[in-house]
A and B are shown apart, each in its own frame.
Chain A
């Protein structure tokens, strides 16, 4: 029935949205208990989202293998890593250490995941330097101002810069605490107002994209 697919979700959204917006301002124990119950359910739903994510990843790579898309061999690597980790994790009940001794699951985490993630992040430094050399040019007055500010902040945030140009630290503090903070706050206020407006549209059924099928 169309009621269960359209009107009922909208009604639930309307009631829930209004109730929990009001709940924030009502410190009565019953109100607090309601919040506790609902947020507990949110955590449960969050757990299911993890399962959904893993399932989606499996499906995505199955499609890549079936279609022989470029790099499809790496999808097998993904499966091997994922299934292997899941198997070891389940076998050891998720324990990384037992009586102070590292388990196989802990070994996978500490000697594979940690260094691999660290490496991926570390190589960004090289690409940032290369990009800065190729692209950070003063093509206009505004770009020149940005460039000067960047150089000052880079100097002021490291001991060598403060040693060579002591005032650079103070100027950096001023740039971050005054110029940056004021501009960021303006952006934050704008984004927050936008979020409030969007929330109200969702609560009152004006925005229905979450139902699927696009706007009406």
Chain B
């Protein structure tokens, strides 16, 4: 067996170990490489910046714990930005498994920013139905969510003064890990109730959302951990996402090197076989 053939049959545990080290070492010894801001992330930031104080910002945390590494930092950065600008924040989720985490992040960041539940923010929780929830909120928010997550009646909450349905919301951002997410908010929400919509998503589904971005159906997109890191830079409060980018950088390059090596070995074997074939033919 040639060296190339042995390398192509390498024990995958070695690859696991390489990836593990590439992830762990930059987290332990961060470098802090500069992060360039993409237009689609800046668009979300700039739109929130442009909202007057007291505007209503709805954050739909449509993800479960599996997507926490990418979307949780996005939620943290967005909430900090919204609270810093004294926006009224409505939180909710269309994903049942993510309810507890969504409540935790909103509550924690609100406390950090000195905001009061019911007056500055409210977390509505989860309701079954997916797209039906959006339609119901578009028709009458109080029928869709008679109480908030803490069982307080939503009617009469100071944070919801002047809000009857989604038409009264200034900006909606859905942080989505997949189906029942940004596209759902567009098709069943924005298209009918005419609010402005932005998106945040995991890296793996981001490419599928660029058509919506290009057409203006969403006005910005925060993609994956990279997007979260960019947003942290924009608000001037670096956190977990920025810290994670060094690890992601090294891991990406590890995979690139692995792919290049794989192809070098593959081409080497192929050429050797072709040479052998030509030799036997002669």
Contact = CB atoms under 8 A, between A and B. Distances in A.
Contact of A180 (B128, B210, B215, B258): B210
A118 B39 CA distance: 30
B36 A162 contact: yes
Size bracket of the A interface: 35 or more
Given A96-B100, A126-B15, A154-B252, A133 B259 contact: yes
Size bracket of the B interface: 35 or more
B262 A137 contact: yes
A160 B255 contact: no
A184 B259 CA distance: 26
A60 interface: no
A133 B262 contact: yes
A42 interface: yes
Contact of A160 (B103, B213, B249): B249
Interface in B229-259: 245-246, 248-256, 258-259
Contacts, number: 171
Contacts of A24: 192
B266 A118 contact: no
A170 to B, nearest CB: 10
Interface string A164-195: 00000100010011001100110010000000
Interface in B1-55: 8, 10, 12, 15-16, 18-20, 23, 33-36, 38-39
Contact of B263 (A106, A115, A138, A159): A138
A203 interface: no
Contact of B64 (A117, A134, A136, A160): A117
Interface in B197-219: 203, 206-208, 210-211, 213-215
A147 interface: yes
- The listed residue with most A CB atoms (<10 A of its CB), out of B129, B226, B260, is B129
B100 A110 contact: yes
Contacts of A106: 100
B129 A159 contact: no
A49 interface: yes
Given A133-B262, A147-B263, A42 B129 contact: yes
A120 B66 CA distance: 7
Majority SS of interface residues in chain B? helix
A7 interface: no
Contact of A184 (B8, B12, B135, B210): B210
A181 B248 contact: no
B97 to A, nearest CB: 7
A137 B100 contact: no
Contacts of A180: 207, 210
A159 B249 contact: yes
B253 A136 contact: no
A128 B248 CA distance: 14
A43 B263 contact: no
A94 to B, nearest CB: 9
A138 B266 CA distance: 9
B140 A36 contact: yes
A160 B34 contact: no
A12 interface: no
A117 B97 contact: yes
Contacts of B132: 39-40, 42-43, 46
A43 B249 contact: no
A129 B258 contact: yes
A121 interface: yes
A106 B68 CA distance: 17
Given A36-B136, A159-B245, 13 more contacts: A36-B139, A36-B140, A39-B135, A110-B104, A118-B68, A132-B259, A133-B262, A134-B8, A137-B266, A162-B36, A177-B214, A181-B214, A185-B211
Interface of A: 24, 32, 35-36, 39-40, 42-43, 46-47, 49-50, 96, 106, 109-110, 113-118, 120-122, 125-126, 128-130, 132-134, 136-138, 147, 150-151, 154-155, 157-163, 169, 173, 176-177, 180-181, 184-185, 188
Interface of B: 8, 10, 12, 15-16, 18-20, 23, 33-36, 38-39, 64-69, 96-97, 100-101, 103-104, 127-130, 132-133, 135-136, 139-140, 143-144, 192, 203, 206-208, 210-211, 213-215, 224, 226, 245-246, 248-256, 258-263, 266-267
